[in-house]
Amino acid sequence: MNFVYDIPDMRKIRVIIDTDAKAEADDQFAIVHALLTPKFLVKGIVTAHFYNAFTGENPFNDTMERSDKEAKYLVELLNLENDIPVFRGAKSALLNKETPQTGEGIHFIIEEALRDDIHPLFIVVQGTLTNVASALLQNPAIAQKMTVVWIGGAPYSAGGGYEFNLTVDLLAANIVFSSKVPMWQIPLNAYTSIKIGFAELYLKVRPWGEIGQYLYQQMIDYNNQRTDLPDWPAGESWSLGDSPVIAVLLDEHKCCYEEREAPQVDLYTANYIFYTGNRKIRVYHTIDSRFLLEDLFAKLQLYSCIKTPLIT
């Protein structure tokens, strides 16, 4: 995308977006933000299934296809359908820890990881880890050629437990945790900190073209539809919980994480289990919401103004 400014090529990174884009209403903001960011060389989008194994929420067998349709629509709204490919990932969770799922998106992850390119590769996972785990099972050599940035997992202070993205595929989480792939985890306590009210969305997102209108309206519509749960959504606000993957790739937030031993996850309770000598992963505890949200607002506004020369 031709943006209003560019950055040195040496600062750019390759990005694959792995998304359950139709699970809720916040993946859309992270996807659009990534596509409007000059630092990111977005190589493609891989779509993911979603299902809440603990509550039975979203018990549909077409969730990956619905994510695929949503991701393609967002790309079209930004007129990037000829530049950003969208690939279908796994349709369901792993059946065991030895057998990967299949899908064109999984093959794409492997292919891109093995590509000879000076720009480091980051897989930003905004849902289940099924696609990444399957790629690692198919070709373990890719572990040294990419970094996984994952939105998911319950707080470590609570010892783990239920969390939507984790429980969609507990086996996949254990495979990635125990692999050699560098991993940045943004758990529930960090990703839910990106609070935003609908009034702010109305004033700072909705005005900016067709994409701004869609981002705002699809969230309002989803909020109005979800009247089945007593405590969620809150009613007049949301947490843009998938967007922290953008924040930590724009700026690593070096004072906002710790290196700690990777856990395994109990398949019945989703609690974290620690074994002596486990490899280290990066776990974020804080995200700068001001930095993240203001960057999104500014890029939406700048994008809507591309066809109108800015005063310099």
Tokens of 61: 């067998």
Q: Count other Cβ atoms within 10 Å, centred on residue 233.
A: 18
* pTM confidence score: 0.95
pLDDT at 311: 37
Q: What is the length of the chain?
A: 312
* Contact yes or no for 177/183 (Cβ under 8 A): yes
Per residue, the 3-state secondary structure of the chain, as one string, reads: CCCCCCCCHHHCEEEEEEECCCCCCCHHHHHHHHHCCCCEEEEEEEECCCCCCCCCCCCCCCHHHHHHHHHHHHHHHCCCCCCCCEEECCCCCCCCCCCCCCCHHHHHHHHHHCCCCCCCEEEEECCCCHHHHHHHHHCHHHHHHCEEEEECCCCHHHCECCCHHHHCCHHHHHHHHHCCCCEEEECHHHHCCCEEEHHHHHHHCCCCHHHHHHHHHHHHHHHHHCCCCCCCCCCCEEECCCCHHHHHHHCCCCCCEEEEECCEECCCCCEEECCCCCCEEEEECCCCHHHHHHHHHHHHHHHHCCCCCCCC
57-112 per-position pLDDT tens digit: 655 679 999 999 999 999 999 999 999 999 999 999 999 999 999 999 999 999 99
pLDDT at 60: 65
Closest by Cα among 217, 165, 216, 171 to 191? 165
pLDDT at 231: 82
Average pLDDT per run of 10 along the chain, which is 312 residues long? 84 98 96 97 97 63 93 97 97 95 97 98 98 98 98 96 96 97 98 97 96 97 86 88 98 96 96 91 98 97 70 37
pLDDT at 230: 80
